[in-house]
């Protein structure tokens, strides 16, 4: 029986009454209701549509929060990545809400009310919930009372669902002891990372070889061009914008005060003042550090209201002051780049070089690791073959003490190397070449330190609780993946 089936089979049990402690809703800022196209469908989940209006609430605020944290405007590639991450999160939210309703999880009106009463910025100076503050906040966010409180209900539903799933995660003391021993065992490893691009200087493709390869692989080149055309060769219209943004915050100046202020700045720019200098002084957007420059980005990535505002404007022209529930903005078009498509004839040689490289470099790296480095290092384990490594720009690094289960360090040894170190003799070069994510590893175990058994007995209860928390998290992630895999998502 799958995890999902097990959960459904227990839907009538007392577990359904589990209620998670109510939390302060830090998510409130995610639900600003943007203007724009309200009919677009981002995805469907088991036949239920996710409209662009809902998705935009999450994406635009995630973008703003990310840029504020990083203190810069995200690149096009980063925005695309964030867009897809948010899209998948919204899809997952819908999948889980549907599953919660199928399981019979309910949230009462009193639970919603208690949660609403706990929101700090809806309390007055006396610390009590203030209906007037609540009404003003809803108006400023362009939300209805029913809509916002339904959002609270959904989030409490998801909290209950997660709490319920956690009950399915259990473990035994032998399993805890084994996990503790593995986490407590530290190994120090010398290793060499061998990547295909370490051998690029050794790969020389002559014009004659390229021409021959192209003649024999026209279909492969065409396939690569068609597959990557939208991503690499079809360049949409791009635009560079500069912005001054004034935020509307609870308790701060409202739209009626900020619009005249921004109009005065617009007049000064029209009179010849430097917009970048004014942005650095007045703007409340992360782009303030670049004088309001939002960077070059495809027009299609602009929000619907921003795209509409700059439509038809040439470089150097300003929009009127734009308003939204969260801010007021003034934008100037700095640059426009017309769309362009690279034809196959223009990029054929570059595609061929890339495909030849992708074909030959991994095998060159593998031959070096298996036929040269590994046997040479085994001859004298205590002395890495530096001359051989230097010829390819490779170095030996020491991990320092790391747990056998890994420490989530992206620069640390991959799990296959750690698994091999578990039973290897201290001082020996590990018996084979290991691969992870396209990178090859040749390694030597320097030391291994076992955990103190007495420490486990002394802290057994705390260790059990920590392990159970980790187990619940992993169990919940697997369960969510199970539910999502069974949903029909389009």
Q: Angle between the 344-367 and 218-228 helix axes, to the nearest 10 degrees? A: 100
Sign of CA dihedral 116, 118, 122, 127: positive
Q: Are 292 and 275 in contact (CB under 8 A)?
A: yes
When pLDDT is averaged across residues 354-383 and rounded to a whole number, the result is: 93
Structure tokens at 174: 């032998």
Residue 433 has pLDDT above 60, yes or no: yes
When pLDDT is averaged across residues 191-217 and rounded to a whole number, the result is: 92
Rg (CA), the chain: 29
When pLDDT is averaged across residues 312-328 and rounded to a whole number, the result is: 91
**Model pLDDT, residue 182:** 67
Phi-psi region of 251 (alpha: psi -120 to 50; beta: other; left: phi over 0): left
Structure tokens at 374: 């590994």
pTM score, whole prediction: 0.51
pLDDT in tens, 393-429: 999 999 888 888 765 667 788 989 998 998 899 999 9
Task: Please state the separation of Cα 49 from the chain's center in Å.
Answer: 23
**Model pLDDT, residue 61:** 78
332, β-bridge pairs? 242, 318
State the CB neighbour count (10 A cutoff) for residue 434. Answer: 21
Q: Domains of the chain by range and CATH? A: 3-170+470-486 (1.10.4030.10), 186-203+359-449 (3.10.50), 237-338 (3.10.50.40)
**Model pLDDT, residue 140:** 79
16 confidence band (pLDDT: 50, 70, 90) = very low
Residue 75 has pLDDT above 90, yes or no: no
**Model pLDDT, residue 417:** 93
Pure H helices in 3-120: 3-9, 52-70, 76-103, 109-117
CA separation for the pair 251, 310 (Å, rounded) = 31
CA separation for the pair 406, 412 (Å, rounded) = 8
CA distances from 474 to 2, 477, 479 (A): 16, 5, 9
Q: Are 354 and 366 in contact (CB under 8 A)?
A: no
CA separation for the pair 223, 211 (Å, rounded) = 18
Residue 481 has pLDDT above 80, yes or no: yes
CA separation for the pair 417, 2 (Å, rounded) = 32
When pLDDT is averaged across residues 89-116 and rounded to a whole number, the result is: 91
**Model pLDDT, residue 106:** 92
330 confidence band (pLDDT: 50, 70, 90) = very high
Of 487, 64, 24, 445, the closest CA to residue 247 belongs to: 64
Q: Quickly list DSSP for 29-52.
A: GGG----S-SS-EEEEETTEEEEH
Mean pLDDT of the chain: 84
CA separation for the pair 215, 25 (Å, rounded) = 62
Structure tokens at 148: 């916002």
**Model pLDDT, residue 407:** 59
State the CB neighbour count (10 A cutoff) for residue 475. Answer: 19
Percent above pLDDT 90 for the chain: 43
**Model pLDDT, residue 42:** 84
Sign of CA dihedral 173, 176, 178, 181: negative
When pLDDT is averaged across residues 79-91 and rounded to a whole number, the result is: 88
Structure tokens at 336: 């426009």
**Model pLDDT, residue 51:** 84
């Amino acid at each position: 029986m799958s995890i999902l089936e097990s959960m459904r089979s227990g839907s009538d049990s007392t577990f359904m009454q589990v209620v998670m402690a109510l939390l302060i809703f830090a998510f409130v800022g995610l639900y600003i209701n943007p203007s724009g196209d309200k009919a677009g469908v981002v995805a469907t989940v088991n036949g239920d549509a996710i409209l662009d209006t809902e998705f935009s609430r999450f994406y635009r605020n995630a973008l703003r929060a990310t840029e504020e944290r990083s203190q810069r405007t995200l690149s096009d590639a980063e925005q695309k990545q964030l867009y897809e991450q948010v899209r998948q999160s919204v899809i997952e939210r819908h999948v889980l809400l549907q599953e919660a309703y199928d399981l019979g999880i309910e949230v009462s009106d009193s639970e919603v009310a208690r949660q609403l009463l706990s929101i700090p910025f809806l309390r007055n100076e006396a610390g009590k919930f203030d209906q007037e503050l609540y009404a003003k906040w809803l108006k400023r966010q362009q939300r209805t009372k029913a809509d916002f409180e339904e959002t609270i209900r959904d989030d409490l539903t998801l909290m209950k669902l997660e709490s319920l799933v956690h009950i399915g995660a259990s473990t035994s003391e032998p399993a805890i002891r084994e996990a503790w021993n593995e986490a407590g065992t530290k190994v120090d490893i010398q290793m060499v990372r061998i990547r295909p691009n370490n051998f690029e200087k050794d790969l020389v493709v002559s014009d004659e070889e390229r021409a021959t390869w192209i003649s024999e692989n026209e279909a492969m080149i065409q396939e690569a061009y068609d597959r990557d055309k939208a991503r690499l060769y079809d360049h949409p219209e791009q635009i560079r914008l500069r912005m001054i943004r004034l935020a509307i915050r609870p308790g701060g100046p409202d739209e009626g005060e900020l619009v005249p202020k921004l109009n005065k700045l617009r007049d000064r720019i029209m009179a010849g003042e430097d917009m970048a200098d004014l942005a650095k002084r007045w703007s409340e957007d992360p782009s303030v550090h670049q004088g309001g420059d939002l960077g070059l980005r495809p027009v299609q990535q602009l929000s619907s209201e921003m795209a509409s505002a700059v439509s038809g404007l040439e470089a150097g022209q300003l929009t009127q002051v734009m308003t939204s529930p969260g801010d007021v903005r003034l934008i100037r078009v700095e640059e426009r780049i017309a769309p362009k498509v690279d034809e196959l004839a223009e990029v054929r040689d570059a595609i061929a070089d890339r495909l030849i490289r992708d074909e030959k470099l991994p095998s060159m790296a593998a031959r070096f690791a298996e036929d040269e480095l590994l046997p040479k290092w085994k001859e004298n384990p205590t002395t890495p073959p530096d001359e051989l490594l230097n010829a390819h720009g490779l170095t030996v690094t020491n991990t320092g003490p790391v747990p056998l289960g890994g420490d989530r360090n992206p620069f640390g040894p991959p799990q296959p190397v750690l698994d091999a170190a578990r039973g290897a003799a201290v001082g020996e070069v590990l018996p084979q070449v290991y691969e992870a994510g396209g990178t090859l590893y040749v390694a030597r175990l320097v030391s291994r330190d076992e955990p103190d058994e007495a420490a486990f007995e002394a802290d057994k209860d705390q260790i059990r609780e920590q392990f159970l928390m980790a187990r619940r998290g992993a169990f919940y992630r697997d369960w969510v993946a199970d539910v999502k895999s069974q949903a029909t998502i389009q």
